[in-house]
Chains A and B, each alone.
Chain A
Amino acid sequence: MGSDPGNIVPPADAEELGTERYDGKYPIVIDGLQNAFGDNVIHQDLALKVRRGEILGVVGGSGTGKSVLMRSIIGLQRPTGGTIEVFGRDITAAGPDEVIGVRNHWGVLFQGGALFSTLTVAENVEVPLKQFYPELSAELMHEIARYKVVLTGLPGEAASKYPSELSGGMKKRAGLARALALDPELLFLDEPTAGLDPIGAANFDKLIRDLTDTLGLTVFLITHDLDSLYAICDRVAVLADKQVIAVGTIPELLESDHPWIQEYFNGPRSRAARDSRDRAAELTVAEGDAAREQSAPAAALHGKITGA
């Protein structure tokens, strides 16, 4: 395995998370952030706080620097000014390979999936495990890889495939499985539903919402997909004019009179997305009742697990 991407430096302290500056409320705190490529200023005095346990949608026109913002938070892009604290640690003070203490507490799904093309899906999921927890036995790693792949909605057989053998939607799911490999608290998703068909995108949205609720994740979700915004985001941050001009729930944002926000949320596509969300809500209420009635026998079936 000459091209095994897992061979970097072993982590210094893989278990320690957070400093006294992290109060458990805001895993990401950005203040006064400035990013520029030469004379081209992308962010100027940008501030943003991400709450624990929420799905924060990040929207903005193309080229407003959403991806650059994400890359700065995960330490791939060194800002020209300002501070970014993740779990109370200053990311901007460290180089891209140094922010290891927090690196095992986040997972990233890149825009293109970025799966290692010479490894199978299962091996892709095992790369971060091998990197951070070499003491895990090979057997356990295989088991972990398999259930993570199934957890993201892929059939178990997909784990043995190479990325070039997967469809676009399957690649996204495999990328998500790798992002979830370490049971991270923070998940970064860069346009996860771009390029998926509406049904695939809706399923992916639901998957992210379910995983967030069951695993207690905090999600930083860059998206252009209005359906995703309405369906799964707790709050939305709007990037424009080099700053986060507004953060809040969609009803709160609708009250803003910023022209871009108005145009974005009151355009025809947005209204269609809102209507479909409302219709979906009615449906889920009905389904939810049915599910609750069924859940009693289901619990009996899982009878091996009894609460404390």
Chain B
Amino acid sequence: MREWADFSWQDGDGDSGRGAIALHGPMLVSSVGPLDERLRAIDRPISTIDLSDAGQIDTVGAWIVWRLAEQHGAEITGAGDQATRLLEVVQGAQSSADIRPQQLGMPMRALEDFGRFMVGLGHGTLRVIAFLGAIVLSFGGMIRHPRRIRGRAIVRQMELVGVASLPIVGLMSFLIGIVIAQQGAAQLSQFGAESLSVNLVGRLTLRELGVLMTAIMVAGRSGSAFAAQLGTMKLTEEIDAMRTIGVAPMEALIIPRILASVLMMPLLGFYASVIAILGGAVISDVTLGVPAVSFLLRIREVVPVYDLYIGLIKAPVFGLIIGLAGCYQGMQVEGNAEEVGLRTTQAVVQAIFMVIVLDAFFAVFFSNLGWN
């Protein structure tokens, strides 16, 4: 059992009403918790604090004694060698500094936060534009001096972004193909038009869903990885170290990642569409009684080739957005580990949000071109 520190109170003589306190038991960090609260609650003046009955003492115990003496102008008696020494230590270490980070009152803080948010928005927009400009410049430089292109880094990133995500993108697309074919057929059968579910699967996946779902998957897999990697490298000063050696982080880290996502997105998107169509073919073979081969042959007849172009035009743009958001957020990390998490989340949220907004624009744009 733990032995707690305790105290006894003795009323002082005379009419000053100042009492005397005697402390008992160990005055250690492990034993003074309750004692401290009871001593704080004393509202009568104290003239002396007696330590002759107290046991072991550490700086926390000494601090409590000293603070009490200070507060009441009391005298400390019966302090042993150790207690005297520690009392001097804590006396020397007193400070009135505020240990909380500076904060304003509530209404002011709300205003300040709002102001910071608006300024941050403005600066953020400017910084994104500057970041894009820096990328274009450094890309131009790399084209003029092809020796500066980092082939290995680019290939490595293409492997991570593209090849490594083939299984998960494939599985996801296959299931989506199944769902569209199945649900489409169920609804269309009300008009006796089940056979049109081929159109549904073929056009929807090539034109919209294949690329869109892939973009979301890549944003979650690779966009977040970009932000977390670059952010951690910033925290550990690896990026500063690269700069001092003369390696531009833009060329060594950012361009390869952005190039990889721009190049891999169309491939992944096309692959996803093909797998989704396969999924549709399989399910219609199994449940709708349309043989898979004739399902695939029908696709060729009902899907206009510009549906494929639309998908392939959108994909690299989405890739660029994902890469930009990931790298930009990663490079903004400053200070601490929590920031890496926040920035990673932002990279993914921003990328997906921008992809969906742009997808809507593309939809209107391409229908006005007459590709519908």
Contact = CB atoms under 8 A, between A and B. Distances in A.
Nearest to B36: A140
Contact of B335 (A15, A142, A162): A162
Interface in A197-230: 214-216
Interface stretch (B26-34, B157-165, B279-287, B296-304): B26-34
B98 interface: yes
Contact of A143 (B33, B51, B63, B69): B63
Interface string B71-111: 00011111111101111111111111111111000000000
A214 to B, nearest CB: 5
A147 B101 contact: no
A15 B59 contact: no
Given A147-B63, A304-B69, A159 B89 contact: no
B29 A133 contact: yes
B60 A144 contact: yes
A160 B87 contact: no
Contacts of B2: 14-15
Interface in A50-99: none
A133 B98 CA distance: 23
B63 A307 contact: no
Nearest to B80: A308
Contact of B95 (A3, A104, A132, A147): A147
A215 B85 CA distance: 8
B183 interface: no
B37 interface: yes
Contact of A146 (B76, B86, B99): B99
B367 interface: no
Interface in B331-369: 334-338
B59 A104 contact: no
B336 A157 contact: no
Contacts of A164: 334-336
A237 interface: no
A281 B173 CA distance: 78
Contacts of A161: 101
B30 A104 contact: yes
B-side interface size class: 35 or more
Contacts, number: 132
B99 A160 contact: yes
Interface in A161-178: 161-164
A305 B79 contact: yes
Contacts of A140: 33, 36, 60, 64
Contacts of B81: 307
Interface in A245-276: none
Contacts of A186: none
Interface stretch (A29-37, A39-47, A115-123, A284-292): A115-123
A305 B30 contact: no
Nearest to B97: A156
B251 interface: no
Contacts of A19: none
A159 B93 CA distance: 13
Contacts of A215: 58-59, 86, 89
Contact of A117 (B86, B100, B338): B338
B52 interface: yes
Interface in B16-55: 28-34, 36-37, 40, 51-52
A306 B76 contact: yes
Given A3-B337, A306-B75, A308-B78, A143 B89 contact: no
Contacts of B101: 120, 160-162
Contacts of B334: 164
Interface in A119-159: 120, 122, 129, 132-133, 135-137, 139-140, 142-151, 155-157, 159
Contact of B100 (A151, A155, A160): A160
Contacts of A234: none
Contacts of A137: 33, 36-37, 40
Interface string B214-252: 000000000000000000000000000000000000000
Contacts of B94: 147, 150
Nearest to B57: A183
Contact of B337 (A118, A132, A145, A305): A118
Contacts of A144: 29, 60, 63
B84 A304 contact: no
A133 to B, nearest CB: 6
Given A147-B93, A215-B59, A142 B86 contact: no
B57 to A, nearest CB: 10
A147 B59 contact: yes
A143 B98 CA distance: 10
Contacts of A163: 336
B88 A129 contact: no
A118 to B, nearest CB: 4
A104 B29 CA distance: 10
Contact of A305 (B40, B76, B93): B76
Given A151-B59, A305-B87, 5 more contacts: A151-B90, A155-B97, A160-B102, A183-B28, A305-B76
16 contacts: A14-B2, A120-B100, A140-B36, A144-B60, A147-B63, A147-B95, A151-B89, A160-B99, A160-B102, A163-B336, A183-B28, A183-B29, A183-B58, A183-B60, A304-B74, A308-B51
Q: Which 9 A-B pairs have the closest CB atoms?
A: A156-B97, A156-B95, A117-B336, A135-B33, A183-B58, A159-B99, A122-B99, A151-B93, A150-B93
